Amino acid sequence: MTQHLELPALPALVVGRVGHVRHRPVRHSFEHAHYQWLVDLDDLPRLAWPVRHVARFDARDHLDRGRRGGGIRGDLSRWLARRGVTLDEEDSVVMLAHARVLGHVFDPLTVFWCLRPDGSLRAVVLEVHNTYDERHAYLIEPDEAGHAEVAKEFYVSPFNDAEGDYAVELRLDPGHVRVGVTLRRDGQRILTAVTAGSPVLASNRTVARTAARHLFMTHRVSALIRWHGIRLWFARLPVRTRQPHSEEAVR
């Protein structure tokens, strides 16, 4: 993996849009205003009161929930080591994620870019959450254009089982951040999800203004997922049986 990344100033807010298109068997699409955080795990935001209440990062919200110490980075390092990747002390980890807002967070997709000191990629990890308080992590190998493929192993939506594969598109640079994921099955596109936006340095003023403009961001994410699920259920999209997921996938 030889891709080199040029990062925006961190910590940053990535302000833009999130959109989903369900291609089949029922056509359904939406797009909403959206923002996420882009942070260095070794230098998380330190904001003034009361702004810090809309920008909290907690190890319990990711991977192994911080059970064995070292915070999010500690969990990530152990997860990578079990899969043959060593995260060196000099490496940096940039995370794209939602922060806790007034005590609540729901983060459908977190992206971890693990970078060597020269800016080259050591690893990229996608962490997926569902609404059943389960999570799964994928190790991917993007090419120079930021494209990768990985087999689906996790039940996310009640309308899709764990069959198929993901085509992933990643872009991270000072002017734009984009994550696109397309679920494919038997050569057909089933669902495409894209989040994209422009990174803005996360000052106290910027965070306060953005949080006010996007009130209760993570609460809205949780509510919208359920609202669109209800609409699909009324459209008679078949519900797939869910099997409990082992937490070994994030350890």
* pLDDT at site 218: 84
* Apex 246 CA angle, 79 and 39, nearest 5: 40
Residue that is written with structure tokens 């959450």 in the block: 129
* pLDDT at site 248: 85
Burial of 127 (0-12, 13-18, 19+ CB in 10 A): buried
DSSP 3-state of 217: helix
Is 23:167 a contact under the CB 8 Å cutoff? no
- Residue partners of 132: CB distance under 8 A and separation at least 6: 242
pTM over 0.85? The answer is yes
Is 250:112 a contact under the CB 8 Å cutoff? no
Mean pLDDT (10-residue bins), the chain, 251 residues? 85 96 87 95 93 93 96 98 97 97 92 96 96 94 95 87 93 97 94 96 96 86 79 77 85 91
| CA dist., res. 158 & res. 132, Å (int) | 10
